[in-house]
Amino acid sequence: MSPYRYRCTACGNLTRFDVTIARRTAAFHHYSVGGDLTVEDEQVLDETIEKVECRWCGTGSSVVALVDEVAG
C-alpha cells in the first residue's frame, strides 16, 4: 500500500487514484498434503511506486503526493 495521500492538481481529486507499485518480497510457501498453498511470513524487501494516475480525469502528470500527510 502506498504511504502517501495524493491530489490531482488538474481536477482536484483527493480520493481515487490508480497506483502501480513494483514490490519484491520474501515469503514462506507452505503446501498442504493436498497441494493447497498458504503464503506465510511475507516481508516486503523493496517497493517502488511506478505510476500514479487520477481515476477521475486520467492524468498522471498532474498528480502530486501530499508528503506531509500520511494515508490512513
Name the grid cell of 14.
Answer: 483527493
pLDDT tens, residue by residue, 10-55? 999 999 999 999 999 999 999 999 999 999 999 999 999 999 999 9
Q: Is pLDDT above 90 for 2?
A: no
The predicted pLDDT at position 69 comes to 54
Sequence letter at residue 64: V
The residue that leads in pLDDT, 70 or 28, is 28
Q: pTM of the predicted model, to two decimals?
A: 0.71
Average pLDDT estimate for 7-12: 96
